[in-house]
Amino acid sequence: QVKVVESGGGSVQAGGSLRLSCTQSGFATRTQSWAWFRQPSGKEREGVATLVHNSKDTQTTYADSVKGRFTISKDNDKNTVYLEMTDLQPDDTAMYLCGWRNGWLTVAASLEAKRYNYWGEGTQVTVSS
Protein backbone atom coordinates (compact mmCIF):
# COMPACT_ATOMS: atom_id res chain seq x y z
CA GLN A 1 0.00 0.00 0.00
CA VAL A 2 1.46 3.34 -1.06
CA LYS A 3 1.60 6.00 1.61
CA VAL A 4 2.58 9.65 1.25
CA VAL A 5 3.15 11.75 4.37
CA GLU A 6 4.00 15.44 4.60
CA SER A 7 5.42 17.37 7.52
CA GLY A 8 7.08 20.66 8.35
CA GLY A 9 4.37 23.25 8.00
CA GLY A 10 3.82 26.03 10.50
CA SER A 11 3.37 29.74 11.03
CA VAL A 12 6.04 32.30 10.17
CA GLN A 13 6.30 36.01 9.59
CA ALA A 14 6.85 37.48 6.14
CA GLY A 15 10.44 36.98 5.06
CA GLY A 16 10.80 33.79 7.06
CA SER A 17 11.63 30.26 5.94
CA LEU A 18 10.25 26.76 6.31
CA ARG A 19 11.21 23.32 5.07
CA LEU A 20 8.54 20.82 4.16
CA SER A 21 9.15 17.09 3.90
CA CYS A 22 7.29 14.43 1.94
CA THR A 23 8.02 10.72 2.39
CA GLN A 24 6.67 7.93 0.21
CA SER A 25 6.55 4.28 1.23
CA GLY A 26 5.08 1.09 -0.14
CA PHE A 27 6.26 1.24 -3.76
CA ALA A 28 9.91 0.97 -4.74
CA THR A 29 10.71 2.18 -8.26
CA ARG A 30 13.61 3.89 -10.00
CA THR A 31 11.46 6.38 -11.88
CA GLN A 32 9.28 8.62 -9.77
CA SER A 33 7.44 11.90 -10.07
CA TRP A 34 6.94 14.07 -7.02
CA ALA A 35 5.18 17.37 -6.66
CA TRP A 36 4.28 19.98 -4.14
CA PHE A 37 0.95 21.65 -4.69
CA ARG A 38 -0.73 24.25 -2.55
CA GLN A 39 -4.34 25.15 -2.02
CA PRO A 40 -5.29 28.41 -0.34
CA SER A 41 -8.61 28.37 1.44
CA GLY A 42 -11.43 28.62 -1.10
CA LYS A 43 -9.12 28.48 -4.10
CA GLU A 44 -7.95 25.88 -6.59
CA ARG A 45 -4.92 23.66 -6.12
CA GLU A 46 -1.76 25.13 -7.68
CA GLY A 47 1.41 23.33 -8.68
CA VAL A 48 4.40 24.80 -6.85
CA ALA A 49 7.41 22.59 -7.54
CA THR A 50 8.04 19.18 -9.01
CA LEU A 51 10.88 16.69 -9.09
CA VAL A 52 10.97 13.85 -11.57
CA HIS A 53 13.83 11.38 -11.64
CA ASN A 54 15.08 8.04 -12.84
CA SER A 55 18.38 6.32 -12.16
CA LYS A 56 20.27 8.83 -14.31
CA ASP A 57 18.41 12.12 -14.64
CA THR A 58 16.54 14.57 -12.45
CA GLN A 59 14.12 17.20 -13.69
CA THR A 60 12.87 20.01 -11.47
CA THR A 61 10.15 22.51 -12.29
CA TYR A 62 8.89 25.56 -10.44
CA ALA A 63 5.86 27.77 -10.70
CA ASP A 64 6.79 31.33 -11.67
CA SER A 65 5.44 32.60 -8.35
CA VAL A 66 8.07 30.70 -6.35
CA LYS A 67 11.12 30.69 -8.62
CA GLY A 68 14.18 31.91 -6.79
CA ARG A 69 12.53 31.43 -3.38
CA PHE A 70 11.64 27.73 -3.21
CA THR A 71 13.92 24.75 -3.82
CA ILE A 72 12.83 21.14 -4.23
CA SER A 73 15.28 18.33 -3.53
CA LYS A 74 15.33 14.63 -2.71
CA ASP A 75 17.13 12.34 -0.31
CA ASN A 76 17.16 8.98 -2.09
CA ASP A 77 18.21 7.03 1.01
CA LYS A 78 15.12 8.26 2.84
CA ASN A 79 12.86 8.38 -0.22
CA THR A 80 11.92 11.85 0.92
CA VAL A 81 11.43 15.05 -1.02
CA TYR A 82 11.96 18.44 0.58
CA LEU A 83 10.64 21.86 -0.26
CA GLU A 84 12.87 24.59 1.12
CA MET A 85 10.87 27.82 1.20
CA THR A 86 12.55 31.16 1.79
CA ASP A 87 11.36 34.78 1.78
CA LEU A 88 7.84 33.59 2.50
CA GLN A 89 5.04 36.04 1.88
CA PRO A 90 1.38 36.15 2.97
CA ASP A 91 0.35 34.98 -0.52
CA ASP A 92 2.20 31.72 0.19
CA THR A 93 -0.32 30.88 2.90
CA ALA A 94 -2.02 27.62 1.96
CA MET A 95 -2.36 23.94 2.64
CA TYR A 96 0.64 22.31 0.99
CA LEU A 97 0.10 18.84 -0.41
CA CYS A 98 2.56 16.30 -1.78
CA GLY A 99 1.68 14.21 -4.81
CA TRP A 100 3.48 11.09 -6.03
CA ARG A 101 3.34 8.69 -8.88
CA ASN A 102 5.42 6.00 -10.48
CA GLY A 103 6.93 6.98 -13.81
CA TRP A 104 8.24 10.04 -15.62
CA LEU A 105 6.14 13.16 -16.19
CA THR A 106 7.09 15.90 -18.61
CA VAL A 107 7.65 19.42 -17.33
CA ALA A 108 4.14 20.52 -18.28
CA ALA A 109 2.41 17.37 -17.06
CA SER A 110 4.23 17.42 -13.74
CA LEU A 111 2.35 20.58 -12.73
CA GLU A 112 -1.07 18.99 -13.30
CA ALA A 113 -2.64 17.61 -10.15
CA LYS A 114 -4.61 14.99 -12.08
CA ARG A 115 -1.35 13.23 -13.03
CA TYR A 116 -0.64 12.06 -9.49
CA ASN A 117 -2.08 8.86 -8.09
CA TYR A 118 -1.21 9.32 -4.46
CA TRP A 119 -1.48 12.28 -2.12
CA GLY A 120 -0.67 13.08 1.45
CA GLU A 121 -3.10 14.81 3.78
CA GLY A 122 -1.24 18.10 3.58
CA THR A 123 0.54 20.46 5.93
CA GLN A 124 -0.57 24.02 6.63
CA VAL A 125 1.72 26.97 5.98
CA THR A 126 0.63 30.34 7.34
CA VAL A 127 2.60 33.53 6.69
CA SER A 128 1.71 36.70 8.55
CA SER A 129 2.64 40.21 7.46
Could you give the CA distance from residue 41 to residue 39 in angstroms, rounded to a whole number?
6
Give the residue-averaged pLDDT of 77-94: 97
Question: Cα torsion for 24, 26, 27, 32, to the nearest 10°?
Answer: -10
DSSP state of 98: E
The pLDDT tens digits of the residues spanning 27-58 come to 999 999 999 999 999 999 999 999 999 999 99
| pLDDT reported for residue 102 | 97
Compute the distance between CA of residue 65 and CA of residue 105 in angstroms, rounded to an integer: 21
pLDDT of 4: 98
Q: What is residue 59's predicted lDDT score, i.e. its pLDDT?
A: 97
